[in-house]
Amino acid sequence: MEAVPQAVDPRRAAEHGSAVMRLVDEIFPLVEGFYVDLHRNPELSYQEHRTARAVAEWLSRAGYEVATGVGGTGVVGVLRNGEGPTVLLRGDMDALPVEEKTGLPYASTAHGVDGEGNDVPIMHACGHDVHTACLVGTADLLAGSRDRWSGTLMVVAQPAEEMIDGATGMLADGLYTRFGRPDIALAQHVGPQPAGMLVHRAGVIMGASTTVRVRVFGTGGHGSQPHATVDPVVIAANIVTRLQTIVAREINPSEMAVVTVGMLRAGTKSNIIPDEAYLEVNTRAHNDAVLDRVHASIERIVRAEAEASGAPREPEVTRVQEAGVTRNEPDQARSLAATHRAYFGDPYVIDLPEPFTGSEDFGEFGLPGDPDPIPCVLWFVGGTPHDVWSEAPGETPFEKLAGVPGNHSPFFAPDREPTLRAGLAALTLGALTYLGRPDAPLDHAGAATAEQRPIAVDEAPGPAPIEEPCNEDDDEDEKEGESTQRADMDVLLGDDEERRESGRYPGADEHPSGDEDGPRESPRHAGGMDELLDPPPPAHGPTRGTETGPSESFGMPEPTGPAYSAPPPSGPPISAPPPPPDSTPYPDPDDPPYRL
């Protein structure tokens, strides 16, 4: 794999980001409105027609070359801006068959039909609405500040991440042959950490996952004469119990593995012994060899239990969904973490000590197994409201993570404003790390107003730019201690008492820093991970579903800022009235914590 062409060092990329993010207050109400619309109108995997149409409309208005229907319902936007590398930014669009219980005023009440013809509730319980809103917002910001970067931006709105095959489908549909091969692929995922926090990890960041379907056969009959049958329900029950011994007795305790039977179905009536039973087993590991061992054990146990019960036929064991580990290219992961630290400040960017057990198909964009793979980097953006985090049981960050609503929970409700603002900044900075022009001026910011003009490098507070990029060694990251983040992060991390009283945040008509002569330094904290996460940074924006919906900015006139800002699309909405007043967005802190 050839070295990725990195245009600027982390400090310089952060300076570009500070300039570009001056545009954020002009488009943020549109991005926030787009997010609320997506959350209220979720769509299942490969059914993201309305979402895809909205993304395509936004990208078209921002000046991108747009193609739809890629890999089913995928959307690709390409913006060519001179010589330079090609950077792929990916966001996923699909939602889950989960009934929302957040109590948010814009909670989903949508229903749809799944792949098996069942009517199911639908909810954005994994944050893909955040990903998509940040994707189009970032595309808009970069389209409006093309004097700051050079190269090609490839924006990919992916379908069916929850099916773990949407990325493969887009690749099979000619993503790289039709639109060009990127030099690097970047993505982010909202997580249960405190809202506004970024989480990085070099190497493996998410595990491999497989779904195994098992069909066992018996001989049916009357429930009053079990001796005349071979009961597949009993066979299935024995399989479920025995599968739990794989991790406990066959996998080295130093390795991570998960075996979960998430579906067990058999029979139609209590006094009828059925002919067959059906199971779906989900497996996860951080190591391909461990996953192979798990699958071999599953097949051995299933066949042995069927034979021990005298089943008339061999069971069927089929792998139906597979995703490899999500592996961040180490040098590029460290470079991006250094850029984010230079912008956000050290306390708001942490390194994950070990991979998550969740799985993603984003790694497929890196062409794993190819002789010339493409480096990929994925990071997490925290979304938990800060007051919810503070009230969560536990003394350590890891204990609190187990006590807050996480991904796939019906109570999953990211704190809208700080999560979206952090996601917009993180993804924009990611692109500028590779596309930023070293010779770009620092005395203007695209279409920003005079009041929003960033100060020049020699006027900027904080340390001088570092001498060399920080992608060689881990200890190099320590050189980027001071933050260059500006007005947009003051809104996110500063004292918001005045905002809570007024019910609004600074918009395009008010300098976010509170100082019309120029931006001020962002808050700084000196502690480590424990000090950062417990207690977390102060909360901003609506933090509970019981608060009212979109911020007061929705009542403001439509911004006139960047030349390529696009209003939310106007497709037919799915009816979504507010939930009942007595809905509970989060469990009571005194009750046992909600767990996945």
Model pLDDT, residue 2: 59
Residues with pLDDT less than 70, the chain: 1-3, 5-8, 440-596
* pLDDT tens digit sequence for 23-57: 899 999 999 999 999 999 999 999 999 999 999 99
Task: Label the pairing between strands 208-217 and 151-158.
Answer: unpaired
State the amino acid at position 161 in one-letter form: E
Residues 6 or more apart whose Cβ sits within 8 Å of residue 60: 66, 77
The sign of the CA dihedral 33, 37, 40, 46 is negative
pTM: 0.74
Model pLDDT, residue 395: 86
Q: Where are the beta strands (DSSP E) in 244-329?
A: 257-266, 272-273, 276-285, 316-323, 326-328
- Residues with catalytic function: 94, 161
Please provide the average confidence, as pLDDT, over all residues in the chain: 80
**Residue at token pair 């480590």:** 528
**CB neighbours of residue 591 within 10 Å:** 8
* pLDDT tens digit sequence for 364-408: 999 998 999 999 999 999 999 999 999 999 988 888 998 999 999
State the amino acid at position 172 in one-letter form: A
Tell me the C-alpha distance between 32 and 29, whole Å: 5
Model pLDDT, residue 222: 96
Query: In angstroms, how far is CA 7 from the centroid of its own chain?
Result: 26
CB burial class (10 A; 0-12, 13-18, 19+) of residue 410?
Answer: middle
Model pLDDT, residue 339: 96
Tell me the C-alpha distance between 3 and 19, whole Å: 27
Tell me the C-alpha distance between 194 and 174, whole Å: 38
Strand partners, 510: none
Model pLDDT, residue 6: 60
- Residue 403 · residue 394 · CB < 8 Å: yes
The sign of the CA dihedral 129, 131, 132, 133 is positive
